[in-house]
Amino acid sequence: MNKLIGLTLLNLTIFTFSSAAQQTDVAGIDKDTITNFSTYKRSIGFAGLLQTRYVGSLTKNVNINGKNFDESSDNKITNNFVLKRVRLQVKGTVNDHFSANLMFNFAEFSSNPSNKVLENAYVKYTLNKHLNVQAGQFRPFFGIEDALPVDIIRSLDYSNQYYAFGASGWQSFQVGVSLFGDITKSGQFRYYAGVYNGNNRNQPSDNDNAKNVYGRLETSLSKKLIIGINGAYGSLGNGSGNAWGADIVGTSKLSNDWQLSLGGEYKNGTNLALFNTYTETPPSLSQVRMQGFYVFPILRYSYNLPRLRAIEFSSRYEYFSQNYKLDNNTRQTIIPNFSLIFADDYYASIQMGVSIDLYKKDLPLTTTYSSNLAYLQLQIRF
In the chain, where the domains are located: 38-381
Looking at residue 5, what is its pLDDT? 41
Asked if 376 and 51 count as a contact pair (C-beta separation under 8 A), the reply is: no
CATH code: domain 38-381 is 2.40.160.10
Residues 13, 18, 21, 23, Cα dihedral to 10° = -120
Q: Three-class SS of residue 164? A: helix
* Number of CB atoms found within 10 A of residue 311's CB: 15
Q: Which of 126, 264, 136 is nearest to 182 (CA)?
A: 126
| Angstrom distance (rounded) from CA 136 to CA 142 | 17
Q: What are phi and psi of 128, to 5 degrees?
A: -165, -170
pTM score of the predicted model: 0.88
* 3-state per-residue secondary structure call for 64-86: CCCCECCCCCCCCCCEEEEEEEE
The DSSP bridge pattern shows strands 212-222 and 131-138 to be: unpaired
C-alpha span between 147 and 191 (Å, rounded): 12
What string of pLDDT tens digits covers the 382 residues of the chain? Answer: 444 444 443 443 433 333 333 344 444 566 778 888 888 999 999 999 999 999 999 999 999 999 999 988 888 999 999 999 999 999 999 999 999 999 999 999 988 888 889 999 999 999 999 999 999 999 999 988 987 777 788 899 999 999 999 999 999 999 999 999 999 999 999 999 999 999 999 888 988 889 999 999 999 988 899 999 999 999 988 889 999 999 999 999 999 999 999 999 999 999 999 999 998 888 999 999 999 999 999 999 999 999 999 999 999 999 999 999 999 999 999 999 999 999 999 999 999 999 999 999 999 999 999 999 999 999 999 9
Of residues 137, 106, 141, the one with CA closest to residue 121: 137
| Residue 126 and residue 94 in contact, taking contact as beta carbons nearer than 8 Å | no
Per-residue pLDDT, 1: 43
Per the DSSP assignment, residues forming a β-bridge with 188 are: none
Tell me, what's the pLDDT at 74? 85
Decide: helix, strand or coil at residue 300: strand
Element (H, E) at 2: helix 2-21
